[in-house]
Amino acid sequence: MESFARSSVKAVLGPTNTGKTHLAIERLCGHASGMIGFPLRLLAREVYERVVAIKGPSEVALITGEEKILPEKARWFLCTAESMPLDRDLSFVALDEAQLGSDPERGHVFTDRLLRARGRDETMILGSDALRPMLARLVPGIEIVSRPRFSTLSYAGPKKLSRLPKRSVVVAFSAEEVYAVAEMLRRLRGGSAVVMGALSPRTRNAQVAMYQAGEVDYLVATDAIGMGLNMDVAHVAFASLRKFDGRRQRRLTVAEMAQIAGRAGRHQRDGTFGTLGLEGGGGPVLEPEEVAAIEGHHFPPLDHLYWRDGLPDTRSIDSLIAALERRPEQQVLRAAPEAIDLAVLKRLAGEPWVTERTRGRVLVERLWSACGLPDFRKTGAETHSRLVGRLYGHLSTGSGHVPDRWFAEEIARLDSVQGDVETLADRIAAARTWSYIAHRADWLADPAHWAERTRALEEKLSDALHDRLTQRFVDRRTTVLMRDLAARGPEALPVAVAGDGEVSVGGEAIGRLSGFRFVADDRARHADLKRLMAAAERRLAPERARRAEALAADPDEAFALVTDAGRPVAIFWRGEVVARLAKGRTLLAPAVTLHRSLDALTLADRETVSARLRRWLDEGMARHLRPLPRIAAAAQDAATPATLRALLAPLVDAGGIIDRELLATALAALDREQRRAATRLGIKIGALDVFAEPLLKPEAMRWRMALIAARAGSDAVPLPPPGAVVLEAGPFAGAGYRALGTQMLRVDLVERLARQAHDAREGRRPFVPDPALATSLGLKSGSVERLMRALGFHSVAGMGGWTWRGRRESRDRPMPKPRHAAFGALGALFLADG
């Protein structure tokens, strides 16, 4: 200890971005041996990797609570402040962020290191200029050097998330607030990385690497960001200015604000800071005097540091507690508030088995060492003391080792990567507990084995947590692609279409080409996606042209007429819509309107597609609507008698099925030969309806109803169940069913019942029809009565029978007004000729 007192002690003070840590690393590497204590495990790991790159892994050690890399010949040590091995004789020793001695929770650790940690040849204290009066009082003869900030830090005012500049860090003070801001950034700006003190170094490094590589332009962090983590930050925005310090909710001190805001700007590049504005106003507000202090790096000097005996008396539990509660002698030091290790010690000291077992310095020190197990899961002193008590129970009996079985069961319980961000973060916190235990050299029989097991577990959970954070808070494909789009322009983006239609840009899937239609991935929707889609659309032209060629060459089986009720009648190709049917010149000549997804095709390709669809449609009508196309051809043939054309034209216009009464005049004008000609065309002139019977088949009915809907400019209507002959009254007009009150009967069955009734009657004598057929069809009595009356039969009162009076058709009955002007004109001409 005397050699420590004789070493030179230098303090390097100043705001952030002054190169203090970089200077300490240079001085460390310039000595034959040395050590630096850091406030964060993350920062210790970062500097460890830098020093390893200079000195090699065999001579550099990393010592933190949960991680220990200690080569046999290590000469340079990077540690957390709590883990600094003060018993080593080293040439150089440094303490970073020494102003944390004023922190109520951890301050006593930093104060102890400031007072006791000394290098044989050189000692360096790094911190804020506010520490100057404390150093002058506590370290006589210390040399104090001030360093100016390399860049300017200026206030930029409040900014909404939607207007945050790129390379911004948003600082929040709870996990819930961090997650909420990150989620909003994902929706508005494509995503963000997340950094919190509770993250493992592996997760934190993966998140920071994503930010540093430009995969995301934003980072959301807790105030851990203020402890020397070096990143390329242009702007720092405070989502809040209040934090819970372990005891109460309070406003940040100006020095704390400056420590965080100082992350903006790097080396000689200026930075800005401000607050996060909320929609509609509101949000945290920085006072003018706070802004001036942060910009000018003027902070009130510290007037005290927290202290606790760093070398307490361990002869007994009582003497240990008394030493830890002893008040400091120097006025500028204050007794540290009761930390969790002391709270746990007091609770265990009240256990009879602990006091009986803990006799002598060795076991007291072992108990105090167990109480030093951090409460990584933040369960509180009461719950944490139960775990420490069980641990000490093993450390104080038998071999003094934690049983392998208990240790293995506990880490096996954590060995799962299932669950959300919060679940994985809690597992990592628990894994840190067992990692801490594994790195105590005398707590396990085989500490190296279990240290490796816990390291592998933490890495596994850390990787899973990084993946979950990225999935939850980063629209990764869009951020990566937008970076390339801005750097190289849309023409340079490598667009690829996989065999299943997946469209990727730069290897990142952004959607799917379904037919000719580009469907964006729902997970990638935000403001920048429109630009990305536009860039991709321009590059999909060759693929769409290839698909147009494939469509033109495909067989009929690749196409389908889709008649989903409530939607426009459409033509599908390979399961994707390519065209819709609309009103055309005639029922059998509907317009084929290409879907808007084909607008990107060239005019020649569109014409090729249209011609193929037209050919398929004509062939489909010829196949499914036989004999309707033949009837239509006869109706337009000049060789067909005018009187017969007067029948055929309205029949075609109606889709091959029409009420006989609407054709009464035309039917009366036909001679026997013309009726035979109609029969040869497949037309049945029934008692109530004129129809072509093949058109009642399910597929023919579907096509016919589709053409009628297209002509009307309406959506497809519901179709009767295939093969149904009797229906409840419904929206089936034009399908080929005759309404009979609450029921509808297919027109060919109407004719069978009509034939049966006429076969059963004898002149005009009353008769009772055989009910068997009507019953088998499911016709109700009311429906039968309506049908009999429509056929010209009248009921006979009191007999329950029917008598024939006949149906009368008038030549003077007007022709129906055809639904299509062309056929209407033909009908008028035919009657005039007749």
Region 223-237: mean pLDDT is: 78
Question: Rounded to whole angstroms, how far apart are CA atoms 116 and 307?
Answer: 12
CA angle (115 as vertex; 39, 309 as ends), nearest 5: 90
pLDDT-derived band at 535, boundaries 50, 70, 90: low
Query: 372: which DSSP letter?
Result: T
Question: Rounded to whole angstroms, how far apart are CA atoms 305 and 131?
Answer: 9
With a cut of 50, say whether residue 191 has pLDDT above it: yes
Question: Does residue 172 contact residue 181 with C-beta atoms inside 8 Å?
Answer: yes
Question: Rounded to whole angstroms, how far apart are CA atoms 468 and 427?
Answer: 14
Region 356-384: mean pLDDT is: 94
With a cut of 70, say whether residue 833 has pLDDT above it: no
Output the CA–CA distances (angstroms, integers) from residue 745 to 687, 729, 802, in the order listed. 14, 9, 21
2 class by beta-carbon count within 10 Å (0-12 exposed, 13-18 middle, 19+ buried): exposed
Q: 123-171, pLDDT tens digit by residue?
A: 999 999 999 999 999 999 999 999 988 888 899 999 988 889 989 999 9
Q: 461-481, pLDDT tens digit by residue?
A: 999 998 888 888 876 555 555
Walk me through the domains of the chain, giving residue ranges and CATH numbers.
Answer: 2-146 (3.40.50.300), 153-296 (3.40.50.300), 305-472 (no CATH), 476-539 (no CATH), 628-804 (no CATH)
Question: Rounded to whole angstroms, how far apart are CA atoms 545 and 559?
Answer: 18
Question: Rounded to whole angstroms, how far apart are CA atoms 82 and 91?
Answer: 20
For 408-447, the three-class secondary structure string (H helix, E strand, C coil) is HHHHHHHCCCCCCHHHHHHHHHHHHHHHHHHCCCCCCCCH
For 13-77, the three-class secondary structure string (H helix, E strand, C coil) is ECCCCCCHHHHHHHHHHHCCCEEEEECCHHHHHHHHHHHHHHHCHHHEEEECCCCEECCCCCCEE
For 260-274, b where at least 16 C-beta lie within 10 A, e where not — what string? bbbbbbbeeeebbbb
CA angle (319 as vertex; 313, 321 as ends), nearest 5: 100
Look at strands 333-335 and 249-251 and give their pairing.
unpaired
Question: Does residue 190 contact residue 482 with C-beta atoms inside 8 Å?
Answer: yes
Q: According to the model, what pLDDT value does residue 266 have? A: 72
Region 324-337: mean pLDDT is: 94
Least confident of 280-294, 412-426, 483-497, 707-721: 483-497
Q: Which residues lie across from 561 on neighbouring strands?
A: 571
Query: Which residues, other chains included, contact 456 with Cβ-Cβ below 8 Å and sequence gap of 6+?
Result: none
Region 622-626: mean pLDDT is: 94
Q: According to the model, what pLDDT value does residue 482 have? A: 56
Question: Does residue 123 contact residue 93 with C-beta atoms inside 8 Å?
Answer: yes
Output the CA–CA distances (angstroms, integers) from residue 272 to 18, 166, 265, 471, in the order listed. 16, 12, 7, 30
Phi, psi of 646 (to 5 degrees): -65, -25
With a cut of 90, say whether residue 341 has pLDDT above it: yes
Region 251-274: mean pLDDT is: 86
Output the CA–CA distances (angstroms, integers) from residue 557 to 117, 575, 588, 706, in the order listed. 84, 11, 21, 19
Question: What amino acid occupies position 448?
Answer: A
56 Rama class: left (phi>0) / alpha (psi -120 to 50) / beta: left
Q: According to the model, what pLDDT value does residue 477 have? A: 56
Q: According to the model, what pLDDT value does residue 244 have? A: 83
Q: Which residue has the higher pLDDT, 476 or 330?
A: 330
With a cut of 70, say whether residue 3 has pLDDT above it: no
Q: According to the model, what pLDDT value does residue 213 have? A: 83
Rg (CA), the chain: 45
Question: Does residue 507 contact residue 519 with C-beta atoms inside 8 Å?
Answer: no
Host H or E run for residue 187? helix 175-189
Region 244-268: mean pLDDT is: 83
CA dihedral 362, 368, 374, 379 (to 10 degrees): 130
Question: Does residue 212 contact residue 242 with C-beta atoms inside 8 Å?
Answer: no
**Complete DSSP assignment for 278-347:** PTTS------HHHHHHHHHT--PPP--EEE--SS---SSHHHHHHHHHPPPSSTTEEEPP--HHHHHHHH
Q: Which residues lie across from 69 on neighbouring strands?
A: 62
817 class by beta-carbon count within 10 Å (0-12 exposed, 13-18 middle, 19+ buried): exposed
Q: According to the model, what pLDDT value does residue 654 have? A: 94
Q: According to the model, what pLDDT value does residue 652 have? A: 95
Question: Rounded to whole angstroms, how far apart are CA atoms 24 and 18?
Answer: 12
Output the CA–CA distances (angstroms, integers) from residue 584 to 385, 581, 591, 710, in the order listed. 85, 9, 5, 8
Query: Which residues, other chains included, contact 697 with Cβ-Cβ below 8 Å and sequence gap of 6+?
Result: none
- Token representation of residue 630: 């033949």
Q: Which residue is listed with tokens 């307490």?
A: 312
- Token representation of residue 812: 């003077």
Region 324-328: mean pLDDT is: 95
Percent of the chain with pLDDT over 70: 89
- Token representation of residue 505: 């840009």
Q: Which residue is listed with tokens 């036989």?
A: 626
Question: Does residue 231 contact residue 263 with C-beta atoms inside 8 Å?
Answer: yes
Most confident of 74-88, 195-209, 255-269, 473-487: 74-88
Question: Rounded to whole angstroms, how far apart are CA atoms 496 and 488?
Answer: 17
Q: Which residue has the higher pLDDT, 621 or 830?
A: 621
- Token representation of residue 544: 């769409």
Q: According to the model, what pLDDT value does residue 277 have? A: 83
Query: 554: which DSSP letter?
Result: S
CA dihedral 595, 599, 600, 604 (to 10 degrees): 100
Question: Rounded to whole angstroms, how far apart are CA atoms 244 and 252?
Answer: 10
Q: 36-57, pLDDT tens digit by residue?
A: 999 988 889 889 999 999 999 9
Least confident of 16-30, 258-272, 510-524, 579-593: 510-524
Question: Rounded to whole angstroms, how far apart are CA atoms 242 and 105?
Answer: 17
With a cut of 60, say whether residue 200 has pLDDT above it: yes
Q: According to the model, what pLDDT value does residue 41 have? A: 86
Percent of the chain with pLDDT over 90: 63
With a cut of 90, say whether residue 762 has pLDDT above it: no
3-state secondary structure of 127: strand
With a cut of 90, say whether residue 749 has pLDDT above it: yes
Q: According to the model, what pLDDT value does residue 818 have? A: 47
With a cut of 80, say whether residue 4 has pLDDT above it: no
Q: According to the model, what pLDDT value does residue 829 have? A: 37
With a cut of 70, say whether residue 644 has pLDDT above it: yes
3-state secondary structure of 655: coil
- Token representation of residue 200: 């493992």
Beta strands in 91-213 (DSSP E): 92-95, 122-127, 143-146, 153-155, 168-171, 193-195
Output the CA–CA distances (angstroms, integers) from residue 535 to 217, 478, 519, 538, in the order listed. 21, 12, 14, 6
Question: Does residue 584 contact residue 709 with C-beta atoms inside 8 Å?
Answer: no
Q: According to the model, what pLDDT value does residue 65 have? A: 86
Averaged confidence pLDDT in the chain: 87
Q: According to the model, what pLDDT value does residue 731 have? A: 78
pLDDT-derived band at 813, boundaries 50, 70, 90: very low
Q: According to the model, what pLDDT value does residue 638 have? A: 93
Q: According to the model, what pLDDT value does residue 825 have? A: 41
